[in-house]
A and B are shown apart, each in its own frame.
Chain A
């Protein structure tokens, strides 16, 4: 055995001591409170490591490396905590607010649509009343009946246009579902950044939209190209009838 080489028992002793130090440093890291500000390495791990410089030569160098590594790890852990806080803030506050606003808009359009339909019904009833009056007492101008007919058609057309509410409501539901999905993904990502969950955290997985919620809207709902889309349906129906 050369002079530079050490006895296996010495090497074992040194390794055991080093592992104890590393173990203690890891335990110190795990015990850090989540809300605790940046930890001064000199208070815990570094102090522990430095007090053991009585160890055989070679260990001092290892201790210094470990101290530097430990300080670096603490910095990373602190950055992760900050990242997590930012993510949570974005998830809980901003997305929830946006989602609430979307629901508010959806409710508002439904309420407004009901009010407009009530108004259109009232106008139609008024036209019916005018027709009744005209039957009871002939009108001096024959154009009045024609004008009432035109107004009735316009009102009927307006009622049909109110379909936009159902379609925009589905579009808003879709946007809301996408935001919920994003919220869940960010929450999963935040959990990954949680130092307390190291080792247990899984990578973010896709969170499918709730099945019942997803069933209440068409993600492709649109007011565009109505005629073209109806033509596609007509063609398929015609093919189906011809085949049967």
Chain B
């Protein structure tokens, strides 16, 4: 499965990719913000993991944009962010985010949420 990892922090992208590879997701594409992610997005991307706070285009804006994108309507989106206020989480869901991981995360939580989103997609399909 090809995963698009979006975070403006190089450290976080590296940690995410490291965790994903340990969980067996070896095909990862990195983007530095929402706009960069949209540029790199194509039909081969099967999962998007995005941060919220980023320059140029935030993770929530990216989620909205992907839901308007012809190839992004149904792509699973996992938000990985420090933001944990209830209103923020609701706003993310309304923007089209499928699940939510609060930083700092454990690799197990990340894997569980990816599995939960994928199983939800399978159930819906």
- Contact yes or no, A230 B101, CB < 8 A: yes
Q: Contacts A215-B58, A230-B109, A236-B89 known; A114 to B102 CB distance under 8 Å?
A: no
Q: Contacts A162-B15, A170-B53 known; A233 to B84 CB distance under 8 Å?
A: yes
Q: Within 8 Å CB of A226, what residues of B?
A: 102-105
A114 to B9, CA, bound (A): 11
Q: How large is the interface on B (under 10, 10 to 19, 20 to 34, 35 or more residues)?
A: 35 or more
Q: Does A217 touch B at the CB level, under 8 Å?
A: yes
Interface string of A151-162 (1 = CB under 8 A from B): 000001001111
- Contact yes or no, A233 B102, CB < 8 A: yes
Q: Does A222 touch B at the CB level, under 8 Å?
A: yes
- Contact yes or no, A165 B11, CB < 8 A: yes
Q: Does A123 touch B at the CB level, under 8 Å?
A: no
- Contact yes or no, A215 B55, CB < 8 A: yes
Q: Within 8 Å CB of B103, what residues of A?
A: 163, 166-167, 221, 226
Q: How far is the CB of B91 from chain A (nearest CB, A)?
A: 11
Dominant SS among interface residues on chain A: helix
Q: Within 8 Å CB of B102, what residues of A?
A: 226, 229-230, 233
A221 to B7, CA, bound (A): 15
Dominant SS among interface residues on chain B: mixed
Cross-chain contact of A159 among B8, B18, B54, B100 (Cβ < 8 A)? B18
- Contact yes or no, B93 A166, CB < 8 A: no
Q: How far is the CB of A209 from chain B (nearest CB, A)?
A: 13
How many residues of A are counted as interface, with CB atoms below 8 angstroms from the partner's CB atoms? 35
Q: Contacts A160-B104, A226-B104 known; A233 to B10 CB distance under 8 Å?
A: no
Q: Does B22 touch A at the CB level, under 8 Å?
A: yes
Q: B: which residues have CB within 8 A of A?
A: 7-12, 14-15, 18-19, 22, 52-56, 58, 81-86, 89-90, 93, 99-107, 109, 120
Q: Which 4 A-B pairs have CB atoms at the shortest separation, nearest pair first? A: A229-B84, A221-B82, A163-B104, A233-B100
